[in-house]
């Protein structure tokens, strides 16, 4: 699939599931790729690979790949890339998932190189009993990142750990959600973190 600016992506499947997504620049060089791993048809890990400065290339400029990258992850990639000492031709970030039945129980975003690493752990503590409209969709919305849970999260504990040489920085916060519903689905999600407004998401159905 090609966009009007000349960037394009290819989606590879295996047994009717996403196997890999590759994103190309106007010269036909791969700048980003996402490799999917599964456990019983549920995504267990995604390996995000950025070639050279591929993290700068149209991450949030529409199309399939922009849906794979949440704004939160883009911000972390920008921050971590600026601190990276690695001169490797590519960098790999991993996102791993564990589940409690049909809901995500834990999601971990991680990156590591000599003398530097970071990890963000999201523990999904509570869910409602309503239906998540993005269930089975790959989306950046609703704290989902690649895969949606069956229900909507009510409380998420986020723990950020960064290690640079011998310095360790750690931070922990709780994200809570309140919803307005129409039947079984939410029409509005209000998120707070540290008792401060984080964002509001509106859902419109047709």
Domain boundaries, the chain: 8-176
What pLDDT shows up at residue 143? 43
Per the model's pLDDT, the better-predicted residue between 74 and 141 turns out to be 74
Say what percent of the chain tops pLDDT 70. Answer: 74
DSSP string computed for the chain:
-B-TTS-EEEEEEETTEEEEEEEE-TTS-EEEEEEEEEETTEEEEEEEEEETTGGGSSTTSSSHHHHHS-HHHHHHHHHHHHH-----SEEEEEEEEEEETTEEEEEEEEEEETTEEEEEEEEEEEE-SS--TTTT---SSTT-TT---SS-EEEEEEEEEEEETTEEEEEEEEEEEEEEEETTEEEEEEEEETTEEEEEEE----
Residue 59 pLDDT > 80: no
What is the pTM for the complete model shown?
Answer: 0.82
């Amino acid at each position: 699939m090609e966009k009007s600016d000349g960037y394009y992506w290819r989606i590879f499947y295996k047994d009717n599931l996403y196997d890999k997504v590759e994103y190309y620049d106007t010269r036909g060089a791969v700048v980003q790729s996402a490799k999917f791993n599964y456990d019983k048809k549920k995504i267990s890990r995604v390996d995000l690979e950025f070639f050279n400065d591929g993290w700068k290339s149209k991450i949030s400029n529409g199309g399939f790949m922009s849906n794979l990258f949440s704004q939160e992850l883009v911000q972390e990639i920008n921050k971590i890339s600026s601190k990276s000492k690695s001169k490797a031709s590519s960098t790999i970030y991993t996102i791993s998932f564990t589940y409690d039945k049909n809901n995500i129980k834990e999601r971990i975003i991680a990156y590591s190189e000599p003398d530097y690493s970071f990890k963000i752990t999201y523990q999904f503590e509570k869910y409602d009993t309503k239906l998540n409209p993005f269930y089975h969709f790959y989306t950046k919305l609703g704290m989902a990142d690649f895969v949606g849970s069956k229900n909507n999260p009510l409380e998420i504990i986020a723990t950020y750990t960064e290690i640079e040489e011998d310095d360790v920085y750690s931070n922990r916060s709780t994200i809570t959600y309140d919803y307005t519903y129409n039947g079984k689905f939410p029409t509005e999600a209000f998120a707070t973190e540290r008792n401060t407004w984080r964002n509001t998401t509106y859902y419109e159905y047709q």
